[in-house]
Chains A and B, each alone.
Chain A
Amino acid sequence: MSVLQDFRNNVKPNWCPGCGDYAVLAALQQAAVKLGLEPHQLAVVCGIGCSGRLSGYVYAYGMHTTHGRALPFAQGLKLANPELNVIACGGDGDGMAIGLGHTYHAIRRNVNLTYILMDNHVYGLTKGQTSPRSDWGFKTKTTPTGNIETPVATLEMALSAGASFVAQGFSTQLQELTDLIVAAVKHPGFSLVNVFSPCVTFNKVNTYDWFKERLVGIDSIEDYDRYDKGKVLQHILEHEGLLTGLLYEDRKKRSYEEVSGLANNNQMQSVRKFTKAEFNKLVEDFR
């Protein structure tokens, strides 16, 4: 049985003190323990940005890929190695700007993996530019007179892509976040966990307090039905996306692996030469 210590690797994150990502890291590690995983059964695939460094801070197989492309890598990895638990991570620049297309298509495709998106509404590592999740009017070095592009509506986007699992968390709500990640990994399909993870250095608007004042847990909403897409969308619109919890789940949607047949027949790990009979049969096609 693994314990929390097993997933810590003694590498000091280069995140600023107070960064929301520390909580995400802790939640991921706690979730791994709760799921009963051994470190070698977990692969963390990240993109580029502060949040992308996470793969270097967990003791597990880690891969730090290219900007916006963690999801294609993670999907390829999971399909090739179905026994592995694959968690993809990144920030809102990685997943909602350059990687937006891949995010959308990954949701559509529904390969069985978990995507933790650390949403701080800003680009941190490049020192404070507007992100596609920044509020209207947000002022930065590249938008000195205020952002004039509508923020990407992550949750609505995910639902429109046919997401089968949509959750949202907040860095100060560690227990809830841990449980959401556990549920996400257990879910047999693509699981999106968007986490409000404030950037203390470059986002002085969407701070911890700002989120605390506005976020509403779905447990406090009467008759919240996470299986009714229309109603869920309504709640999202009413609360401007500022909800936390397991927002939506489709228990009927089958994973890519199931629909494609890979769940029943996946021989990608056994690299072998054809038998003479197999080879001759394939050669026959060209006679």
Chain B
Amino acid sequence: MQRNEITWQAGGQQGEGLESLGAILASVLSRQGYYLYGFRQFSSRIKGGHTNYKIRIATQPVGTLNKQCDLLLALDQDTLVNEALAVGENGIILAEKAIADFYTGKGKLLAVPFNDIAKQYGTILQKNIVALGCTAAIFGLGEDCCAVQLQKEFGKKGEEAVAANLRVFKAGMEFVKTEAPELLAEKQLPALISNEPKLFLLGNEALAFGALSAGARFMAAYPITPASEVMEYMVKKVKELGGQMLQAEDEIAACTMAIGASYGGARAFTATSGPGLSLMAEAIGLAAMTETPLVIIHSQRGGPSTGLPTKHEQSDLFAAIYNTHGDTAKIVLSPSTIEEAFCDTFEAFNLAEEYQCPVIVLSDLQLSLATQTMPVPEYEELVIRRGKIAHSESLAAIKTPEYFARYSLAADDGISTRVLPGTPNGICLGTGLEHDESGRPSEAKLMRRQQTEKRLKKMQTFLAHYKKALFVDAPYEEADILLIGMTATRSCLAETAEVLRQEGKKVNHVQIRLLAPFPANEIMPYLQKSKKIVVVEHNATAQLAHLLRMQVEGCPHLESILQYDGDIMYPEELLVRCKEVL
């Protein structure tokens, strides 16, 4: 399936408006009806340092970037030295005039005095809007659709600001019209086939919106890249809904506050990255031992320790599953598309309450920080389930020294009934110590075995019921190769599989959406149906491959394709590495 698409990229120094340029362009194109995938690369600093924003513009859904670059705007030298390498003979580069000489490639170069034009019609800060104008000219985008977006973007700053930006925008368009008319509409946007209503948002916004839709009204969090946007979205929305987003003093406080709020009957959560998860380990154990619902959105970045705060990695797999000491019963979901980011987070709150345990929604930097098109979620499909909660009407009258059996061993599924504090006739205790059915500390050997088995039984019950453990695209009964991945590599693997199939290879693809408890039985048939199995992941120690070997009895031989340089994976490169395996 040939994709009808075009790729745009802009590179420059941080603090020069590149993010804004990309955001405005993406909004314009999204409104037109295009499917977009945008990804920005940046450093851990505020101003200065190189940044670039790449947008893939297509007429069908796209879920990753590739190495193509059809139109590149180079506002700094780094762009001409690095990103420009991806521009082929048919590509166009618009380079800042002052540095244009640094380009030595084969693409069509047009030197544009972005800085000068900006200063002439506005201020130097608006050079990104000049770039927008040039882009519009080359894409054949009408002035009107961009004007609407500029109004939206700068309207808050007043009419004069909007007018100034329009002037600068038009100047950019004019420059191309007069200096390089042959480039006008040279990179025509592909023709749209359909225009169904679409959304365009950041992965973190999808995660946050999922939480909000699930009824989450308390979030305690500490800012950390690449999760901060979750708390930023929540703080804007939750107050008028009668909730609170509280920026805690640290991640330990954040996680523990969420547990307290959840114990109290609210739907509560936190969001963090690797370093934060390490801090939260003890608190997660408290939630597991007291059987209190807890949702943690964990967006992975380069580790270990402070690692690479703004770079992509998938190396917290083991930490997410195992960093809490003791036999901890917890659920770890790994959404692999932006739709799943929304619905898995929504579902996480249901699972946390039904199974009374911690649920980690394991995202990664690519999924969290890419901006992409998403269909409008189906409202009818959203169902809130709170699990076993007893309200006073159903509780027998009790008084001291009788307690409500919060940790009753009676149920076969391992799930006892919760009661929210404040409920008459529901008094019970909770403790991080091992306990009896009333929640009183207990060291008795039999009770210890029974409570341990109860907690672990809940996970078995969950695994038996959960239907979304895997994404499967496995049409072949006898495949040449099975590609396995998790979270954001989904589309990269899918596009690579597509190319290999076009070349006559039988390729199956499984993306694992549930990491704990591990769906061993469900994945086994696919492992058996393939001559070669390749586990593709962004870490150096092949954590997902290890997990498969550990969890799947009789697991066949697995090959690994690992990437741990901080960059996302490109289908072109994965294709080469897959062929080496085949």
Which residues of A pack against B, CB within 8 Å?
5-11, 38-41, 43, 45, 53, 55-56, 59-66, 69, 72-81, 83-84, 101-102, 105, 260-262, 265-274, 276, 279, 282-283, 285-287
| Chain A CB within 10 Å, residue with most, of B31, B212, B257 | B257
| CB-contacts of B475-505 with A (<8 A) | none
The verdict on A283 contacting B199 (CB below 8 Å), with A43-B421, A64-B429, A272-B384 known, is yes
Chain B residues with CB under 8 Å of A279's CB are 213, 379, 382
- Check B241–A262 contact: CB distance below 8 A: no
Return the contact of B421 from the options A69, A81, A273, A283 (Cβ within 8 A).
A81
Interface residue? B420 (CB, 8 A): yes
- Chain B contributes a number of interface residues (CB within 8 A of A) equal to 76
Interface residue? B430 (CB, 8 A): yes
- Check B213–A274 contact: CB distance below 8 A: yes
Chain B residues with CB under 8 Å of A267's CB are 217, 241-243
Chain B residues with CB under 8 Å of A62's CB are 429-431, 439
The verdict on A64 contacting B244 (CB below 8 Å), with A76-B259, A271-B384 known, is no
Return the contact of B258 from the options A5, A63, A64, A76 (Cβ within 8 A).
A76
- Check B283–A55 contact: CB distance below 8 A: no
- Can you name 25 A-B residue pairings with CB atoms under 8 Å? A11-B401, A43-B421, A45-B260, A56-B431, A61-B422, A61-B426, A63-B263, A64-B433, A66-B283, A69-B252, A69-B256, A72-B252, A72-B254, A76-B263, A80-B268, A81-B422, A84-B421, A105-B248, A267-B243, A268-B265, A271-B266, A271-B384, A279-B213, A286-B201, A286-B209
Chain A residues with CB under 8 Å of B425's CB are 40
Chain B residues with CB under 8 Å of A10's CB are 400-401
Chain B 101-125 interface 0/1 with A at a Cβ cutoff of 8 Å (1 = within): 0000000000000000000000000
Return the contact of A64 from the options B30, B427, B432 (Cβ within 8 A).
B432
Q: How far is the CA of A40 from the CA of B197 in the complex (A)?
A: 50
Q: How far is the CA of A101 from the CA of B243 in the complex (A)?
A: 25
Q: How far is the CA of A88 from the CA of B213 in the complex (A)?
A: 32
Chain A residues with CB under 8 Å of B217's CB are 267-268, 271
Return the contact of B250 from the options A74, A81, A101, A282 (Cβ within 8 A).
A101
- Check B264–A80 contact: CB distance below 8 A: yes
Q: How far is the CA of A102 from the CA of B267 in the complex (A)?
A: 23
- Check A80–B249 contact: CB distance below 8 A: no
Q: How far is the CA of A274 from the CA of B384 in the complex (A)?
A: 10
Given contacts A76-B260, A84-B422, 4 further A-B contacts (CB under 8 A): A75-B260, A81-B421, A268-B243, A268-B267
Q: Closest residue to B420 on the A side, CB-wise? A: A81
The verdict on A273 contacting B265 (CB below 8 Å), with A56-B431, A66-B432 known, is no
The verdict on A76 contacting B261 (CB below 8 Å), with A6-B399, A66-B432, A268-B243 known, is yes
Q: Closest residue to A14 on the B side, CB-wise? A: B441
Return the contact of B209 from the options A65, A73, A83, A282 (Cβ within 8 A).
A282
What are the 5 tightest A-B residue pairs by CB atom distance, in nearest-first order?
A: A267-B242, A76-B260, A76-B257, A80-B266, A80-B264
Chain B 550-562 interface 0/1 with A at a Cβ cutoff of 8 Å (1 = within): 0000000000000
- Check B253–A105 contact: CB distance below 8 A: yes
- Check A276–B379 contact: CB distance below 8 A: yes
Interface residue? B88 (CB, 8 A): no
Interface residue? B440 (CB, 8 A): yes
Chain B residues with CB under 8 Å of A41's CB are 422
Interface residue? B321 (CB, 8 A): no
- Check A77–B264 contact: CB distance below 8 A: yes
Q: How far is the CA of A260 from the CA of B427 in the complex (A)?
A: 30
| Chain B CB within 10 Å, residue with most, of A72, A77, A81, A271 | A72
The verdict on A83 contacting B252 (CB below 8 Å), with A66-B432, A287-B199 known, is no
Return the contact of B249 from the options A11, A66, A78, A101 (Cβ within 8 A).
A101
- Check A63–B290 contact: CB distance below 8 A: yes
Q: How far is the CA of A182 from the CA of B428 in the complex (A)?
A: 24
Interface residue? B131 (CB, 8 A): no
- Check A66–B209 contact: CB distance below 8 A: no
Q: Closest residue to B243 on the A side, CB-wise? A: A268
Interface residue? B8 (CB, 8 A): no
Interface residue? B526 (CB, 8 A): no
Chain B residues with CB under 8 Å of A101's CB are 249-250
- Check A40–B200 contact: CB distance below 8 A: no
Chain B 412-439 interface 0/1 with A at a Cβ cutoff of 8 Å (1 = within): 0000000011111111111111000001
- Check B264–A273 contact: CB distance below 8 A: no
Chain A residues with CB under 8 Å of B253's CB are 69, 72, 102, 105
- Check A77–B261 contact: CB distance below 8 A: yes
Q: How far is the CA of A79 from the CA of B239 in the complex (A)?
A: 13
Chain B residues with CB under 8 Å of A276's CB are 379
Interface residue? B218 (CB, 8 A): yes
Chain A residues with CB under 8 Å of B209's CB are 282, 286
- Check A76–B264 contact: CB distance below 8 A: yes
| CB-contacts of B437-482 with A (<8 A) | 439-441
Chain A residues with CB under 8 Å of B200's CB are 286-287
- Check B218–A80 contact: CB distance below 8 A: yes
- Check A79–B261 contact: CB distance below 8 A: yes
Interface residue? B376 (CB, 8 A): yes
- Check B440–A72 contact: CB distance below 8 A: no
A79 to chain B, nearest CB (A): 6
Q: How far is the CA of A72 from the CA of B244 in the complex (A)?
A: 15
Q: Closest residue to B209 on the A side, CB-wise? A: A282
The verdict on A77 contacting B263 (CB below 8 Å), with A260-B244, A271-B215, A282-B237 known, is yes
Chain B residues with CB under 8 Å of A282's CB are 209, 212-213, 237
Return the contact of B427 from the options A11, A56, A61, A66 (Cβ within 8 A).
A61
Chain A residues with CB under 8 Å of B258's CB are 76
B578 to chain A, nearest CB (A): 35
The verdict on A74 contacting B431 (CB below 8 Å), with A105-B253, A273-B382 known, is no
Chain B 525-559 interface 0/1 with A at a Cβ cutoff of 8 Å (1 = within): 00000000000000000000000000000000000
| Chain B CB within 10 Å, residue with most, of A40, A262, A282, A285 | A40
Q: How far is the CA of A62 from the CA of B432 in the complex (A)?
A: 12
- Check B384–A75 contact: CB distance below 8 A: no
B349 to chain A, nearest CB (A): 9
- Check A80–B265 contact: CB distance below 8 A: yes
Interface residue? B386 (CB, 8 A): yes
B333 to chain A, nearest CB (A): 20
Chain B 197-239 interface 0/1 with A at a Cβ cutoff of 8 Å (1 = within): 1111100010001001101011010000000000000000101
A263 to chain B, nearest CB (A): 11
Interface residue? B16 (CB, 8 A): no
Chain A residues with CB under 8 Å of B213's CB are 273-274, 279, 282
Q: How far is the CA of A41 from the CA of B427 in the complex (A)?
A: 10
- Check A268–B427 contact: CB distance below 8 A: no
- Check A38–B265 contact: CB distance below 8 A: no
Q: How far is the CA of A156 from the CA of B262 in the complex (A)?
A: 33
